Amino acid sequence: MRLEATTIDIGTSRPLVLLNTVDADELGAHPLDRVRIAWDGATTTGIVKRTDELVEAGTVGVTEPLDHVHGDVEVTLAGTPPSVRCVRKKLDDVELERKELERIVRDIHENRLSDVELSAFVSAVYANGLSLAETKNLTEAMSGVGQRLQWDASIVADKHSIGGVAGNCVTPIMVAIVAEAGVTMPKSSSRAVTSPAGTADVMEVVSDVEFSIEEIERIVDETNGCLVWGGGVDLSPVDDEIIRAENPLSIDPEGLLMASVLSKKRSAGSSHVVIDIPYGEGAKVESLVAARELADDFKRVGDYLEMDIHCAITHGTDPIGRGVGPVLEARDVLAVLEGDGPESLRLKSLRLAEMLLEHCGVDASATEILESGRALERFRSIVAAQGGDPDVESADLDPGEESTTIRADRAGIASRVDNRQLSDLARRAGAPRDSGAGLVVHRTVGDEVEAGDRLYTIHAETRAKLEEAMSFADQLEPIRVRSKADALVERR
C-alpha cells in the first residue's frame, strides 16, 4: 500500500506507525501488528496504532524514532520477530539458550518488541526467574549493545546498591571519598525503579547528570570521578528499556537486577565493584540466607565477565538517612559531607568506602578524608564540572512546601520501621518525578516515643498530592509504636 509519511508527535519514544482505520482495514493491520515501511531503497519496521483522527486516509504517521521516514512510502504487513517465541518459552518456564537471549536483547534494542511483549518478558522472569547460565548470557548480551567507556587507569572503582532501603544515598559520599583518595570512579547510575529516588535523581538536584561520553571523560579527567545518569550515554541501553517496563509493575526480579547492574558496570569500564545488598523485613532481600545466595550469584556472574566483585551484606530494616526523596536525600548527603547529617548515613558511607578502597588495594583512610573536609571539596569539584553550583550547601535545599507531620498516638517504643511502606508513601507524594516530594523520618527502631511525638513528615509539591499521600498514610503503619513489653515480644 502506497502512503504519504508524516511525523506525528504523540509523546512516545516507541516506533509507532499510525494508520487511519480505513487504510488499516484495507491492509489487514490490527493494533500492535508490525508493518514494514520501504522508501528510497531503505526499510524499517514499526508497531501499528489505528486511529480515526490523528492521520487521514492515505497518510501514515510515524513517531520520533522513525522520523527519518519521509515522502511516498510502501507499507506492508511484517511478521512477528522470532524473539516473541522466546518470550513465550520463558512464560512457560523453559530455560533460554544464549542465542535466544541475544535475540531478545537485539530486538529490544532495535525497538522490535511492543510494550506488551517487553512487559511479558519482564513478567516471565519475575514469575519463573533466570538460571545462573541465563543470567550470565543475558548480562553479556546486554553489555554487548551500546557504547563502552574505556579508561587508562588499571583500576576503575564502582559501587551499586540493589535498593529497597529508604534514604540509602551513600553513593555521592563514597564517590567523593574514593576519588579524593586517587582512585578513578566514574559512577553512572540509573534513575529510580521501585524507590523514591535513585542516585541520578538525587544528584540532579545539585547538577546536571546527562552527558556525552566525551563530556564524561572530561569530567573524570578533571575530578577523578563523576555522578551521571547512565541512560544519557547509551551504556547498556537495553537495561533502560527493561527498567521502563519494570516501573509500572514496581518489580525488579533478581535475574534482571544482576544483569542490569553488571551490564552497566561492564559498559562503564569498571574493574572493581562493591555491591551493597541490604536485607531484612521490608527490604528487597528479606533474609540473610537469601542475601548470601544473591552475593554468591553476583560474584559468579562477575567472575564470568572478568570483573572483580565484592558484596557487602548490610542491614536493611531501617532507613539509612532521614530524608526519602531526591531533594531530601541530597540535603542529607551534603550535611554528611559538611560534617553533620544522619549518623547512620555517615557510618554506612564510611564502611563501604573503606571496603572499596581496600578492595582496590589503596591505603587511605575514608574517615580522615571525610572529617578533614577533603571529600566535601572533591564533591564540590564534581558538582562544578557537571554544571552545578559548587557552593551549594545543605541549608540551600528546600523540599516541597506542602507538608504534614504524622505523630504518635501512644507512648512506647518504635518497634519496626517498614522501608517498603516509607518508599511507597514517598512515591505517592510525588517522588521521584517531583524532586521536592518525599518524607523526613524522625524515629528509628528502638527510639522511645511519647504520645504526640513526630514520627515522619510528608512533603509534596502540590496540595493534591499531599492529600493523596495523607489518605494513603491512613492505610499504613510505616513506623510501628508499641509498648515496651509488646516491643520485647516482637523482638523475640
Residues catalogued as catalytic: 252
Cα dist from 390 to 93, 179, 189, 323, 383, whole Å = 52, 16, 21, 22, 6
Cα dist from 200 to 171, 334, 432, whole Å = 10, 15, 10
CA dihedral 335, 340, 342, 345 (to 10 degrees): 70
Question: DSSP for 80-131?
Answer: PPTHHHHHHHHHTTPPPPHHHHHHHHHHHHTT-S-HHHHHHHHHHHHHH---
Query: If you count them, how many residues does the chain have?
Result: 492
Distance CA 227, CA 429 (A): 26
Distance CA 73, CA 6 (A): 10
Q: Give every CB contact of residue 266 below 8 A, 6+ residues apart in sequence.
A: 139, 143, 236, 305, 307
What is the CA angle 393-398-399, rounded to 5? 135
Cell numbers at residue 485, please? 513489653
Helix (H), strand (E) at residue 285:
none
- φ, ψ of residue 148 to 5 degrees: the values are -130, 140
HSE value, Cβ hemisphere, 13 Å, CA-based, for 201:
27
DSSP-derived 3-state class of residue 406: strand
| CA-based nearest residue to 104, from 119, 90, 87, 116 | 87
Question: In 10 A of CB 53, how many CB atoms?
Answer: 8
Cα dist from 178 to 290, 312, 350, 378, whole Å = 29, 17, 10, 10
Cell numbers at residue 279, please? 536485607
DSSP-derived 3-state class of residue 27: helix
DSSP 184: B
Quick one: angle between helices 132-143 and 98-109, nearest 10? 40
Question: DSSP for 118-139?
Answer: HHHHHHHHHHH---HHHHHHHH
